[in-house]
């Protein structure tokens, strides 16, 4: 297996981007996110590519942002001492900025999700146009347990509807693939063993369509959401999220609060 954090290949007009940090449940460090962004750019710029697939090696799609990047055993100790300004800069670029950019790449994209998709994992899956979930997939945003009201990219209300979004945010629990399918948060649920073939089949079907028509279809839906307020709401909620970091800093001197002892061992451990 390659050491690269992101794998990239093009085959029959489909670009496949693979998260390749399975030993860490594809936790996202800055290097992984920058390599992922470069892969999105490559797919966007290649005229041969008509459809982009985002998949993940290993048991899990992504356990979120890697806050143990420096390798300390206690995540609270690993957290860098940061100012509000620095947190805002980093998250505006790598979290909100990347996700919004990927969402607007003018080619259809499909995420294939298995295992856990936690917090920052949502920032990789939600920007994709379609999501295929394995039957063992779960989606959660447990940052309420860090004293913050949700991750940086507020897809929740749009993806789940307001009531289910609040349940997800208030409890931090894992929403199942079947709940997600029921509410239209994923397109379909398939057996884990069929995840890649089902995703590939859908991508191949879409790849037969005219690229400009696909671009127009994507823009029609995204632009409708933007007219409904998606863009402005996501920007505004990003600032609410930053207020959460500011609050945590004022309370503890760290960008997040460790509200429960088990958070120290549970973070980034699927």
Find all residues with CB under 8 Å of 133, minimum gap 6, and list them: 113, 114, 177, 180, 181, 186, 188, 189, 190
Find all residues with CB under 8 Å of 212, minimum gap 6, and list them: none
State the Cα–Cα distance between residues 164 and 212, nearest whole angstrom.
35
Whichever of 49 and 67 has its CB closer to Zn ion, that residue is: 67
- Piece of the chain touching Zn ion by CB under 5 A; list 31-39, 75-83, 125-133, 147-155: 147-155
Whichever of 91 and 129 has its CB closer to Zn ion, that residue is: 91
Whichever of 112 and 123 has its CB closer to Zn ion, that residue is: 123
Please count the residues of this chain forming the interface with Zn ion, following the rule CB under 5 A.
2
State the Cα–Cα distance between residues 19 and 37, nearest whole angstrom.
11
Per-position x/- string for 231-270, each x denoting binding to Zn ion as judged by CB under 5 A, each - no binding: ----------------------------------------
Whichever of 132 and 256 has its CB closer to Zn ion, that residue is: 256
Please state the closest distance from residue 63 (CB atom) to Zn ion, in A. Answer: 15
Please state the closest distance from residue 246 (CB atom) to Zn ion, in A. Answer: 11
**In the window 85-144, what residues touch Zn ion (CB under 5 A)?**
91
- Within 13 Å and on the Cβ side, how many CA atoms surround 183? 18
State the Cα–Cα distance between residues 168 and 10, nearest whole angstrom.
36
Whichever of 91 and 141 has its CB closer to Zn ion, that residue is: 91
State the Cα–Cα distance between residues 9 and 166, nearest whole angstrom.
38
Please state the closest distance from residue 244 (CB atom) to Zn ion, in A. Answer: 7
- Beta-bridge partners for 113: 133
- Piece of the chain touching Zn ion by CB under 5 A; list 98-106, 146-154, 161-169, 262-270: 146-154
State the Cα–Cα distance between residues 206 and 195, nearest whole angstrom.
17
Whichever of 80 and 106 has its CB closer to Zn ion, that residue is: 80
- Piece of the chain touching Zn ion by CB under 5 A; list 101-109, 145-153, 171-179, 189-197: 145-153
- Piece of the chain touching Zn ion by CB under 5 A; list 66-74, 111-119, 149-157, 176-184: 149-157
How far apart, in Å, are the Cα atoms of 53 and each of 16, 63, 198? 5, 19, 11
H-run or E-run covering 247: helix 230-252
Residues that bind Zn ion (CB under 5 A): 91, 152
């Amino acid at each position: 297996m390659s050491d690269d954090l992101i794998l990239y290949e093009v085959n029959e007009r489909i670009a496949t981007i693979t998260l390749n940090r399975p030993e860490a449940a594809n936790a996202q460090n800055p290097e992984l996110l920058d390599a992922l962004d470069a892969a999105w750019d490559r797919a966007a710029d290649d005229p041969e590519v008509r459809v982009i697939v985002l998949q993940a090696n290993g048991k899990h799609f992504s356990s979120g942002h890697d806050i143990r990047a420096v390798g300390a055993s206690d995540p609270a100790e690993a957290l860098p001492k940061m100012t509000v300004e620095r947190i805002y800069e980093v998250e505006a670029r790598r979290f909100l900025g990347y996700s919004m950019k990927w969402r607007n790449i003018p080619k259809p994209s499909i995420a294939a999700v298995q295992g856990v998709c936690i917090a920052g994992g949502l920032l990789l899956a939600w920007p994709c146009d379609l999501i295929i979930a394995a039957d063992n997939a779960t989606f959660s945003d447990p940052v309420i347990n860090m004293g913050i009201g949700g991750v940086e990219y507020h897809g929740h209300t749009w993806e789940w509807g307001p009531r289910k979004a609040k349940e997800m945010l208030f409890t931090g629990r894992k929403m199942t693939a079947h709940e997600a399918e029921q509410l239209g948060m994923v397109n379909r649920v398939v057996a884990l063993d069929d995840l890649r073939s089902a995703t590939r089949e859908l991508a191949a079907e879409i790849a037969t369509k005219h690229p400009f028509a696909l671009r127009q279809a994507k823009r029609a839906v995204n632009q409708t959401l933007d007219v409904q307020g998606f863009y402005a709401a996501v920007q505004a909620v990003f600032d609410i999220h930053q207020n959460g970091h500011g609050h945590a800093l004022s309370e503890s001197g760290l960008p997040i609060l460790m509200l429960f002892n088990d958070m120290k061992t549970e973070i980034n451990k699927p």
